Structure 1
Amino acid sequence: MEWHHPTSPPPKKFKSSRSVKKVVATVFWDAKGIIHVDYLESQKTITGAYYADLLHRLRASIKEKRRGLLRAGVLILHNNALSHTSRLAKSAVHQCGFEELPHPPCSPDLAPSDFHLFPKLKEHLRGKRDAGNDELKSAVNEYLIGLPEEFY
């Protein structure tokens, strides 16, 4: 609602549109650095099946980058999104041999990616113009690889 004179023109309504250049990145990391980064195809959503497949790819990345970690045990902390709590995702967590840490609802202090990793990444990318999704992905990968271990 807004106050206006009866003879004034109607307010302009701006049409909002979805961003064409939206890229969704899923980043798995630990105290030593990045383990796996995955980019979702444009116009797709994260489903239980997609997330289950992603967990299997994460397991392969752990085998490659963190030898011995699977034997020591992997704790995974993700939020309570539907794709993370689906039967397929829960089954994939079990199949991969991961132990899932419970994430209380509405607990932003347990989202280190949202408050530590992504704000600094956004700050790094601010003001840069990209030619496309591939260039953006490579810029993100270069930034993440270039971070010192102390950052994590």
Structure 2
Amino acid sequence: MKVLLTVFFDCRGVVHHEFLPQGTGTVNKEYYLQVMRNLREAIRRLLHHDNAPAHTSLLVCDFLAKNNTLMMPLLLYSQIWPPVSLFLFPKLKRPIKGRRYATIDKIKTASKEELNKIKKMIF
């Protein structure tokens, strides 16, 4: 079983996290727009994310523009802004790698626990 976790954080810690609903398959523009709606208050001024098609879709860009949210492009290979995949996700995946979970809910619970440990350690 696989579960996709979307995480947003700033210099003070994790701002928001959501799991992709089962059966959705992949992050698409409609899902990402809903994530943006759920996150709107926390990202009111600035959002830094990569250029995945769902992130740069007209639907999402219109939403961010209407809510006065500046979208910062990802600076690939920047030492100032390291990609989150090089920083957060290995720390999240390492402790739960190789474990077996009976249900999706148990995977989500274990992921949240590890995310909380990372938050305490880093922020």
| TM tier relative to shorter chain | 0.7 to 0.9
SS at 2:40 equivalent: helix
Which consecutive residues of structure 1, in runs of 5 or more, have no partner in the other structure?
A: 1-20, 63-68
Is the Cα contact below 8 Å between 2:46 and 2:70 reproduced in 1?
yes
Q: CA RMSD in A?
A: 2.0
Is the Cα contact below 8 Å between 1:55 and 1:96 reproduced in 2?
no
Is the Cα contact below 8 Å between 2:14 and 2:119 reproduced in 1?
no
SS at 1:51 equivalent: helix
Q: 2 CA distance for matches of 1:139 and 1:108?
A: 30
- Decide which structure has the larger Cα Rg and report it: 1
Structure 1 residue 99: Cα displacement: 0.9
- Percent identity reads 32
Correspondence for 1:141: 112
SS at 1:129 equivalent: coil
Q: 114-123 vs 44-53, which deviates more?
A: 44-53
Q: 2 CA distance for matches of 1:114 and 1:124?
A: 16
Structure 1 residue 147: Cα displacement: 2.6
Structure 1 residue 96: Cα displacement: 3.0
Is the Cα contact below 8 Å between 1:46 and 1:83 reproduced in 2?
yes
The 1:138–1:108 alpha-carbon spacing in structure 2 relative to 1, beyond 3 Å, is farther
Structure 1 position 30 matched with structure 2 position 10 = yes
The 1:111–1:38 alpha-carbon spacing in structure 2 relative to 1, beyond 3 Å, is farther
Alignment of 1:37-52 (within 5 A): 37-44=17-24, 45-52=26-33
Structure 1 residue 41: Cα displacement: 1.9
Of 70, 79, 101, the match for 1:99: 70
**Normalising by the residue count of structure 1, what TM-score does the alignment of the two structures yield?**
0.69
SS at 2:35 equivalent: helix
**Normalising by the residue count of structure 2, what TM-score does the alignment of the two structures yield?**
0.84
Correspondence for 2:60: 89
Runs ≥4 residues deviating over 6 A = none
Correspondence for 1:79: 50
Q: Aligned partner of 1:117: which letter? A: L
